[in-house]
Structure 1
Amino acid sequence: IHLGPVVDPLPPRLGDPSRLPNALARGLVTWTAILGGLVLLAEVGAIPPVPLALAEAGIFRDVRRDGGHVALTFEPRGLWPSDESRFLFRPGDRVFCFTAIFAPRGAELALAHAWERWDPAGRWVETDRNPWSMHGGRDGGWRSWTAKSNVSPGEWRVRILTADDIEVGRVRFSIEPTDAPAGPMLVRKY
């Protein structure tokens, strides 16, 4: 890159044309190494074979289809609430994990929500694994959700996994039991 006479007093030179084949060979070797490395990482499970991106994830009181949208119901807390990362659990409640995942059009994948709680022994313990299939991408991400009603107080997380157990993302939240009546609910459309 030539940045001008003040920064770089020497203008760019084309150089000796006989060096062009060597430069092309070095470039080919570099790109082959990069692509080979990506293939190797995909084969050993370090990266998913299809590019995936978590567009949205959260914990909610209820998740329902509403026409072309999904209605996400939650009890707002805090200054900018968007989900329930602190879930006040009342008898009969269900906890919903909603995710939207971007994937290339035409992709067919098996994914799962792995529900895990923090054990007093100092480790995450999987309590449930809810699989689903994803067929093709869509604007806004592929929307899916799972629910759980048998939860205990404490720290929880839901990991979004591929069939090869590669983590696409995760949602952390806490469960706190309460007998207090529910406050006003907000519904967010996605």
Structure 2
Amino acid sequence: MIDSPWLAERPRLRAAVRVLHFAWPYLAFAIGVASYALIERTDRLAAWLVFTVFASWVWLLAEPWLKPMRGWRLSRRLARYATQAVHQETLFFGLPFLLRATDWGTGQALFTGAVAILCLVSLIDPLYFRYVCPRRWRFYAFHGLVAFLAMQAFAPVVFRLDTVSGYRLALATGFVVAAQGFIRLRWGWRRWGRIVLLLGAVAALWAIQPWVPPITLWMTSGAITQQFDRRQLRPGEVAVVLSPTRLQQGVYAYMALRAPAGLKEPVFHVWRHDGVEFERIPIEITGGREAGYRTWTFKRRFDEAPAGYWTVTAETRGGQRIGRLGFEVRTTP
């Protein structure tokens, strides 16, 4: 990719490009880790880090439509190299957020695993240039998936959209980007088949929204307790196992949820008994607090037969799980 005649005539530039080509994904991952540490604070540096990735996408999408300036424009090979760099930047930027936000006991682990595979494909040149780049529709399908992931990170920080609105925007963005790969295809059963495949992929991503971790939301701490200081918002002793008699005293579910500064997000505390939803309590969180926005719900009324395993999850309006707590009710010691 970087062994072009133009670069061969410029050995210093060629050496610099080789170093950048090797170091770029690791730099992107470092930027992601830095943003992960700063994004929930009011520090403006976090917004600038996200804006850097966002600006690279604006340039990437605009470049093919820009008229050549002074008789020069990017060659096809150099444009593909720049696109690969943006793919690596976006994927490795978002990976730390996904790893932290994933509830590993749910289908979210499958989505995060799929993103990790995309990271490897973008990193390993033989895979990227053999399986992604040769076919236009395949290249833009990959391009659309990465754009979908990128917009989920950008929307809450850049546009201050809640998770559900950001997810819809991400789906629309991914569809528009991927659809460019089908414009020049000849009409026939192959084109129709690939269009159906694209629409099916969009529908599948919409259906599995609960399996997609909310990239910019996660639980920093939580507890199930029967003692709670409502003024200081501090939980007491953690309750793991309760008897039906103690359960009648009531139970608090406390969670501290991190979100980007300035974001207001409607969430739910969802109480479940042995996997069956029992009650859904709405809460609105505000981002920006370093230790997370402190939320709590209190329940005194339970099933007539409360024995079993209870869980309390924090979820977005779209069903994306942010955090999970649990306790057990036993009729015998």
What does residue range 40-119 of structure 1 map to in structure 2 within 5 Å?
42=167, 43=171, 44=206, 45=209, 46-48=212-214, 51-66=216-231, 69-74=232-237, 83-90=238-245, 92-118=248-274
What is the alpha-carbon distance in structure 1 between the residues aligned to residue 78 and residue 326 of structure 2?
49
> Partner letter of residue 129 of structure 1?
R
Where 1:56 maps in the other structure, the secondary structure is strand
Distance 1:16 1:161 in 2: 56
Aligned to 1:159: 313
Which structure has greater strand proportion? 1
Q: Does 1:36 align with 2:147?
A: yes
Percent identity over the alignment? 25
Which residue in the other structure is 2:301 paired with?
150
Q: Aligned letter for 1:155?
A: Y
Residue 131 (structure 1) aligned with residue 282 (structure 2): yes
User: Please, what TM-score do these two structures have when normalized by structure 1?
Assistant: 0.67
Q: Which residue of 2 aligns with 1:78?
A: none
Tell me: CA distance 1:89–1:137, structure 2 relative to 1, closer, same or farther (3 Å).
farther
More displaced stretch, 53-62 vs 22-31:
22-31
Contact preservation (8 Å) 1:116, 1:127: yes
Superposed displacement of residue 51, structure 1: 0.2
- The alpha-carbon distance between structure 1 residues 15 and 37, as it changes in their structure 2 partners (threshold 3 A), is farther
Are residues 130 and 16 of structure 1, via their aligned partners in 2, closer, same or farther at CA, if it must alter by over 3 Å? farther
**Which structure has the highest helix share of the two?**
2
* 1:28, distance to aligned residue in structure 2 (A): 3.0
CA distance in 2, matches of 1:15, 1:63: 69
Distance, in Å, in 1 between the alignment partners of 2:331 and 2:298 is 17
- Name the residue aligned to 2:291: 140
Q: Which runs of 5+ in 1 are unaligned?
A: 1-13, 75-82, 119-123, 181-190
Q: 2:301 is paired with a residue of what secondary structure?
A: coil
Shift of 1:47: 3.8
The structure, 1 or 2, with the larger RCO (C-alpha pairs under 8 Å, 6+ apart) is 1
Distance change in 2, residues 1:15/1:54 (3 Å):
farther
**Corresponding position: 1:26 with 2:80:** yes
Distance 1:59 1:16 in 2: 66
TM-score after normalising by structure 2: 0.40
- C-alpha distance in 2 between matches for 1:163 and 1:64: 28
Secondary structure of 1:90's counterpart equals: helix
